[in-house]
Each structure stands twice: as structure tokens, then as C-alpha cells.
Amino acid sequence: MIGEFQHSEKSTITNKLTMIGEVLSGRAQGRINNSDITIFDSSGIAV
């Protein structure tokens, strides 16, 4: 885990994080309802 989310490993939210690659490959489910939140951390890469 890189970027700002590297600090989440020490917190209680780590089990709620899903990498975008896992969602795109079908290994993990993305948002399932309107109350879910998506955060994208590009880790310094220009998008």
C-alpha cells in the first residue's frame, strides 16, 4: 500500500479498503449502495 493510505494500516479502516485493481478485475465488489464512498489516491501520478 502506498500514498496516503499507507498510514491506514495502523487504523481500524484497513479492513474497509479495496484496491481499484481488485474491483476492475472482478476479485472484489465496488460500491453497492449510494451511501458507500469511493476515494481515489493517485499517489502523485498525474491523472
Query: What digits encode the pLDDT tens for the residues 1-17?
Result: 556 666 666 666 556 77
**Residue count of the chain:** 47
What number of other Cβ atoms are within 10 A of residue 22's Cβ?
13
Query: What digits encode the pLDDT tens for the residues 11-42?
Result: 665 567 788 889 999 999 988 899 888 877 77
H or E, element range at 20: helix 20-25
Residue 13 Cα to chain centre, angstroms: 10
What number of other Cβ atoms are within 10 A of residue 24's Cβ?
10
Q: Note the pLDDT of residue 17.
A: 77
